[in-house]
Structure 1
Amino acid sequence: MKHALSCLLLALAMAVTASPARADSAVPARWSKAQANAWYAKQPWPAGSNYVPSDAINELEMWQAATFDPKRIDEELGWAQSLGMNTMRVFLHDLLWKQDAAGFKQRIDQFLTIAAKHHIKPIFVLFDSCWDPEPVLGPQHPPIPGVHNSGWVQSPGVAMSDRSQYPRFEQYVKDIVGSFAKDDRILAWDMWNEPNNPGGGDYDAREPKDKFERVAELLPQVFDWARGMHPSQPLTSGLWDHPDWSPSGHLDAIERTQVEKSDIITFHNYGWPEDFLKRVEQLKPYGRPLICTEYMARGAGSTIDGVMPLAKKLDVGMVNWGFVSGKSQTILPWDSWQRPYTLQQPTLWFHDLLHADGKPYREREAQIIRALTHSPRGVVPATALGL
């Protein structure tokens, strides 16, 4: 009886703390540069990974009730804490909300409780344009042998070509952001991952023919829906393509929305340190905090050793792709879609930092991350440079 009463009290507390905030009819203005920079100054230097548990092939398997694994999440985020990490970029999905909004929000709250225990504030991603455009709820297929990220799914994917679905997308955004709008356990909201990405993998024939036009139409609305919930956390969507992101860079419609509606500027870069520096210089004129929400592709020149100390010196937050090696198989390179690594694993891991037992892929990377995350803002200690 005592246990039942405790459960009832917890449910009531969730109903109060996770009830969506009321949206005003007029969408508030985005944060000023002063507001954004003041917010950033209060944060520790953002450092972390894009996170999916090692036993999940995608965000659906991570979050669905049957496969949600708090014990593993707790263990893996403990490893992140030991490295000094303070954020994780975590993907949500509109179908999870459609399936069971209350249960999904309760699991998000549980995840936030675990993350807060380890002093980690996640960046939550609402939509995504990468990989499989036809997501399906329920048991997910096993990894394709030898193929990078072979089970990742888009959100909303092909459904965005159906405008009758837009009200559902709106309610998803408003309910999720509104339910956690004042939750200081969250670092930021990422509206849409690589929105103008054509997809990747071998899914071209299944991609909506009007994908770019639909995303260009939806993305400004997604920002407005989220901002209308008055979140205390900043909104963003990361630039990832195009050769010039500067104010004079002739951005496309989607990129202009990303720049003009983001409170803080986020971007992706998988290139050499000199390319990373060029990108930062392109973005500095916007006068807003910068966080690189995807980097580290060892075989492409983006490494912990080469890029992370540079970013710390520049005060650019850093979130690498991949944390624990697992079902996502992102230790394999992108070209594994063309030639699967079925006979032999690559000597050089492409992404990911840790083995499934928590052991670092390279102890030197762990040393650099600890040195950078444990030193004052803007300071690059000699130990992070191998001196």
Structure 2
Amino acid sequence: MLNVNEIYTLNSDRVLNSFLSADNGPSIITCPEYQGKVVLNGPDAAIDIIHRNIRLYMNAEPTDNPSFHAFVEPYRRRLLRAAKKYRTSPSDRVIITGKWHHVQYDEEPFFAPYLVHILSGDQLVRCVRYDLEIFETDAFSRVLGSPVQLRDGQNLIHRLRWAAENTLFDSFEELSSSGLPFYAGILWWPRSPRLPAVFTTVTGPQRQLLADLGILSGEVLSASMSETQQRLQHQLSEFSDALKMAAKAGHLTSQLEKTLSVLLATLATAEDEARCEAEAKMLGMLANTIFGFDGKILTVRMNLPDTDTLSFEDVANTTTAKGFWLQTRDALGREGEPKFYAFRYLHQCPSTLATILRRRTPEIDGCLPNDCKFVSDWVPSTGNTSARCMAFGQEPKLSW
């Protein structure tokens, strides 16, 4: 059964665990069937409708988020009408639960609904699938083509997680401009009304690491991997664990430095392809932490470099800058609007890493967009255009 505070979030597989541990839970399950719906990424969000009052929640807490309120306001009448369809009593509360989706800096955020919780006066919760079209953006979430049917006695939660991981695996190859994945997981809706809905989350970097380590879904390391590759995967796992502990401590630890030393020793003798792949994964783990890497040792990231030039790779790996601006210019010299990308996006444009940025010179550069302090030269790009990178300016923010 759902706890009252869980009506403001997509219920997790904890709900199913609780159900299966009940005395009569497993006895009614015979080859259950679940239909999945892809869930967009973002914080949990909910619209709570009580009589004619509407309250908004984010991460299970009441919110004054101005973007969320501005999005909901034009739909107020539609929401009140929809709530009447779900109520069995005038006193019932109707909570539409979903995600606040905003991962692209240059796109408008919106609420993506997935479940409706109806809370009666005696605190009983009824959960139904959201199947209305209240919002203009409702079409953005999609239903999977084929349902997942489980064999009798199969581990239900394990099977749904496995299906979610494999369904969304390819989607993590494409990141948003914020560096966040577009999708959070899959909401599984049962064919039998006696089973609960289940939301299985999928996190791209962890999913990729599990696959690389060969332990996803109980698989073993691929026999095609060389001994060096297997050693690198093991050392990356140890580095990841040490990094998490150091991040919690808020400073470099001897264990983190030790695991890095072991990893670098292996990288020094690895073949080019294996070395580049492992280095990219290591730098990905360091992204959005307080730790940077200068090619030899870990450092605490600096705010603004005191040098006049530095490589783009150093900006990404040794400073607190979260991303960069990319600006294009056509053959006539007309400059386009700069677009901001998080450094996690870099794996899609590795050639940018070699770019050299220099401190802005007022006589040459004038005022740069977003008050950027460093800029590269214009370099030829596709067609007759040219492009340049900028960093250390007023970085955009997501609406949550």
- TM-score normalised by length of structure 1: 0.25
Higher helix fraction: Structure 1 or Structure 2?
1
- TM-score normalised by length of structure 2: 0.24
Larger CA Rg, structure 1 vs 2: 2
Higher strand fraction: Structure 1 or Structure 2?
2
Q: Which has the higher contact order (CA 8 A, sep 6+)?
A: 1
